Structure 1
Amino acid sequence: MEELAQGFLRQGKEEKLWQPGSRILVAVSGGVDSMVLLQLLELVQATESEVMLAVAHVNHQLREESAEEEAYLRGYCEKRGIPLYIRRWESLPVSGMEEAAREFRYAFFQELMQDHYFDTLMTAHHADDQLETMLMKMMRDGNVQTAGGMRKRRAFGGGRLVRPLLDIPKEALIAYAKAHEVHYYEDATNYLPQVQRNRVRQRIVPPMKEENPQLLAHFGNLAQQLQWLTDWQEQELQKWYRQYAEVKSESLRLPIAPIVSLTKGQRYFTLQYCAKAIRQNWQVTVNDEQLNQILRSLESGRPQWRVDLAGGWQFRGEYDTLIFGPASLATTPVVTSEVPEQQIRVKLGEGTYLSQNEWVGFLAMAPDPVTGNLYINPDDIPEKVKLWSEIDQPLPINFPTEAVFRKRRDGDRIQLTPSLRKKVSRIFIDKKTPNEMRERSWVMTTVDDQVLGVLPQALSYLSIARETDKIHYRLLYKYRKEE
């Protein structure tokens, strides 16, 4: 069992799951998985300088043992000097208990991350959880985009969520707990047959493991490959969408010729990506049956057709153009003078091309192991853009987890200071920005359309870190000046 601990410490260092100065919030339920994770992280704290640990516990008050588990954690953390944050779930839902409980937990975790400046949330999801999640995803929707299961790390709460046990089988955690006398509680609800995960865990997984003892390793490899595949696919589809999509206030227009020139599989994933953009921009869902109906209509070669969607929306083919929009506008003439709107979303920890000559990223900061100075990992920046001109700005601790990049609109205003607000058009005038450059500029907003900056001209004070902020991310905007 010492091998498990040594492997955990080694992998954590290699993958930079923690670093000197890390402030780690550990989600602890009291079960074997989270209690083992907590004790492993206590080893990290004992061997790594300035790693700070705290525990977050949600008492769902669904079982008689809940109060005993809460009391035990209070005593455990008090004895070891570990800060403990507890929240009780008071307003229990009538239905959808599992999903509601998850939303409650993560809302609590996010609040703690932001209020107490934690840079990392760690949860105790392990290899068996990954297998169960992948099987459930495949059974529920059969979608390659979600079949890859849980990621080991992702942006969360202004920092990141890390699952350091994702490669470790549950059996190994139980064996470690027995060997080191780790006290934990069994959750009886994990055996209720009405919960789908329990049925998968008890009825489906055991015979699969019996068939092949390497099952967990194989599904772990499959998860990684699917995540790499979908990441690459997302980048390619994003380029296609930027090149061809014309987004207006109430419609999306796509030329049909470049769609039908693709292979059948490429057409499917391209339209699936467009459906994702539609869901983000207009909250309209295109289901798989409707997606295949659109594909068949495109393949038919008919000059005009339509596929009705929920809420009075529709897809329609009009000769050489595929149009998504309200059915009420189907006969309305197209206003050709309207400037198409394009929206690109970027999450913390991600980067993307805005155009052939522009790239933007919200990149995580890490301390140099020698100097301690914070730096951006050069591998996070595409080689192609490294010599381009740039704007590099530390982001405040409360910067949103996702931002939208779009072209300017009439009436856009930017808050330069808490007391000074200007029209974006006035910024252009003050900086004597040529009309051509004004059209190429990007407005950076929150998902609620609050302006955070105008690139490359100005940034709102909401996008500029204060001197007292602990910097987790930087805005890096790279652009190539046209000849």
Structure 2
Amino acid sequence: MLKDLVQALERLPPARRWLVGLSGGLDSVALLHGLAQLDAPPGSPGLRAVHVHHGLHARADEWARQCQVLCDALEVPLEVVNVDARPRRGQSPEAAARRARYEALADRMAPGDALLTAHHRRDQAETLLLQLLRGAGPAGLSAMPRWQPYGSGWHGRPLLDMDRSVLEAHAHQHDLVWVEDDSNTDLGLDRNLLRHEVMPQLRQRWPALDTTLARAAGLQAEAQELLAERAREDLQDLRGEVAGTLSIPAIRALRRPRQRNAVRGWLQEKGLPVPNQNRLESLLRQIRDASPDTRLRVSWPGAEVRGYRDSLHAMAPLPPVDPGRVWSWDGTTELHLPELGMTLSVEEMARLHELDPTRLAWPLTVHLRRGGETCRLRGQTRILKKLFQEAGIPPWERERIPLIYAGDRLALVWGLWCCDLPTGVVGGEASE
């Protein structure tokens, strides 16, 4: 195993430090032990282990202690991280645990670090079959890459070309001790059913199954790379007038397969989850039928896409806001508005509006738009809705822009306009 491990590490990018995700199971124990046994010349990456304590199993504390015993014996530093692995709405317990685990691991990475996990050839084969049964395309069928950017560094899988039998032999040869998670035998979980019932029968008929499926995953990865390259080329011609948007008329001009590919690439570029096939088709239908006045909107877990004035906008789902909410602001401290994801300060007010905040009659109140507001600019009273339309502000952004009132008069539309105010509310000439 050690020779193969050395060769696998040589195919990975350089790293300042290796962080091993140590569950305590056979695979990660064998990986950590193998890395600790390597003859490390000066300048080799440092080695440490991280165990994520989900708190979901009755033996979770025992597993953490077993990891500590192993790391003490190998003289490898270990960090045990407690996480909240409760599932979010619509999320499975397995997905929640995986999310919490990888978020915790990413938080422990510094620039130049490499997270190493013990995924092997059988894991790769199982992943490919699972994705195939879920109807995945090339991205899903690519299964797990050998390495990919992650956190502040990258995530590598040095055992991906090894069969699990090699890890088992290594563990027994060195009398290693590992923990057994009884949830791994729960046939109610899809991966376990494949692992314990389906895959053994397939291997009896096709002994080279794992190698063959791993090769198929590699071919799918090549196909996906070409699709990603095509998406990047198309996106150069699809950019909207507003930064980060796509032009709806330009998307319509593409054939449907290229539309799907480009939209997927755009969402991935933004770090947003890609929708399933039904949601994506719904979005493309709305794009096809949308007029400039259409309120186009398609959402799915983790993302939503909206249309405005022939431009397509993508974002994380926006939480609802209460238009009746009012905040008091004394002007001496920052005003935190978590509902809007922003903080107001007098320094930022002065910078944005070129206005001396001491000229305003404090205290102020902060409102959200309800409709019917007016702002007097250069002696002319303007309806706020019209100002927003002229400025091209999308409707979903308008309802999240703080409106600053001095008394009962609108003084500022945050980041956009400074309204004319009568003497006593603000001194001197108002600025726009």
Output the TM-score relative to the length of structure 1. 0.55
Evaluate the alpha carbon distance shift between residue 275 and residue 227 of structure 1 in structure 2; reply closer, same or farther with a 3 A threshold. closer
Amino acid at match of 2:6: L
Alignment deviations for residues 40-82 of structure 1 (CA, whole Å, 9 cap, x no partner): 1112354564321010001223334322222222233234332
Superposition map of 1:65-464 within 5 A: 65-89=59-83, 92-93=86-87, 96-114=92-110, 119-246=113-240, 248=242, 252-255=247-250, 259-260=254-255, 267-275=256-264, 277=266, 287-289=276-278, 307=285, 314-317=286-289, 326-327=295-296
Amino acid at match of 1:259: L
Amino acid at match of 2:19: L
Evaluate the alpha carbon distance shift between residue 248 and residue 198 of structure 1 in structure 2; reply closer, same or farther with a 3 A threshold. same
Alignment deviations for residues 265-307 of structure 1 (CA, whole Å, 9 cap, x no partner): xx41433322553687697976534656788xxxxxxxxxxx3
Amino acid at match of 2:33: Q
Amino acid at match of 2:261: Q
Secondary structure of the residue aligned to 2:248 is strand
Alignment deviations for residues 113-146 of structure 1 (CA, whole Å, 9 cap, x no partner): 13xx561110111111111111111112332221
Distance (whole Å) between structure 2 residues aligned to residue 189 and residue 23 of structure 1: 32
Higher relative contact order (CA 8 A, sep 6+): 1
The question of whether the paired residues in 2 share the 8 Å contact of 1:24 and 1:121 is answered with: yes
Which residue matches 2:9?
A: 12
The question of whether the paired residues in 1 share the 8 Å contact of 2:85 and 2:97 is answered with: no
1:172 deviation in Å? 1.6
Secondary structure of the residue aligned to 1:161 is strand
1:98 deviation in Å? 0.8
1:181 deviation in Å? 1.5
1:233 deviation in Å? 1.5
* Percent identity for Structure 1 against Structure 2: 23
Amino acid at match of 1:85: E
The question of whether the paired residues in 1 share the 8 Å contact of 2:292 and 2:309 is answered with: no
1:201 deviation in Å? 0.9
Distance (whole Å) between structure 2 residues aligned to residue 133 and residue 108 of structure 1: 23
Alignment deviations for residues 299-345 of structure 1 (CA, whole Å, 9 cap, x no partner): xxxxxxxx3xxxxxx32348xxx9896249xxxxx979xxx8999xx
The question of whether the paired residues in 1 share the 8 Å contact of 2:125 and 2:214 is answered with: yes
Distance (whole Å) between structure 1 residues aligned to residue 45 and residue 102 of structure 2: 23
Evaluate the alpha carbon distance shift between residue 232 and residue 316 of structure 1 in structure 2; reply closer, same or farther with a 3 A threshold. closer
Evaluate the alpha carbon distance shift between residue 208 and residue 323 of structure 1 in structure 2; reply closer, same or farther with a 3 A threshold. farther
Evaluate the alpha carbon distance shift between residue 144 and residue 325 of structure 1 in structure 2; reply closer, same or farther with a 3 A threshold. farther
Amino acid at match of 2:105: F
- Structure number, greater radius of gyration: 2
Alignment deviations for residues 173-209 of structure 1 (CA, whole Å, 9 cap, x no partner): 1122112212212211100122111111112211111
1:36 deviation in Å? 0.5
Alignment deviations for residues 77-111 of structure 1 (CA, whole Å, 9 cap, x no partner): 23433211102345644972111111111111111
Distance (whole Å) between structure 1 residues aligned to residue 223 and residue 237 of structure 2: 22
Distance (whole Å) between structure 2 residues aligned to residue 137 and residue 323 of structure 1: 38
Secondary structure of the residue aligned to 2:210 is helix
Which residue matches 1:59?
A: 53
The question of whether the paired residues in 2 share the 8 Å contact of 1:59 and 1:89 is answered with: yes
Secondary structure of the residue aligned to 1:194 is coil
Distance (whole Å) between structure 1 residues aligned to residue 120 and residue 228 of structure 2: 26
Unaligned runs of 5+ in 2: 298-307, 315-347, 353-432
Amino acid at match of 1:201: R
Evaluate the alpha carbon distance shift between residue 69 and residue 238 of structure 1 in structure 2; reply closer, same or farther with a 3 A threshold. same
Distance (whole Å) between structure 1 residues aligned to residue 272 and residue 40 of structure 2: 48
RMSD of the TM alignment (CA)?
3.6
The question of whether the paired residues in 2 share the 8 Å contact of 1:316 and 1:324 is answered with: no
Distance (whole Å) between structure 1 residues aligned to residue 238 and residue 164 of structure 2: 47
Alignment deviations for residues 333-376 of structure 1 (CA, whole Å, 9 cap, x no partner): x979xxx8999xxxxxxxxxxxxxxxxxxxxxxxxxxxxxxxxx
Secondary structure of the residue aligned to 2:288 is strand
Evaluate the alpha carbon distance shift between residue 198 and residue 247 of structure 1 in structure 2; reply closer, same or farther with a 3 A threshold. farther
Q: Which has the higher strand share?
A: 1
User: How many residues align structurally?
Assistant: 305
Evaluate the alpha carbon distance shift between residue 44 and residue 203 of structure 1 in structure 2; reply closer, same or farther with a 3 A threshold. same
Secondary structure of the residue aligned to 1:26 is strand
Which residue matches 1:394?
A: none
Evaluate the alpha carbon distance shift between residue 186 and residue 281 of structure 1 in structure 2; reply closer, same or farther with a 3 A threshold. closer
1:163 deviation in Å? 0.6
Distance (whole Å) between structure 2 residues aligned to residue 120 and residue 165 of structure 1: 14
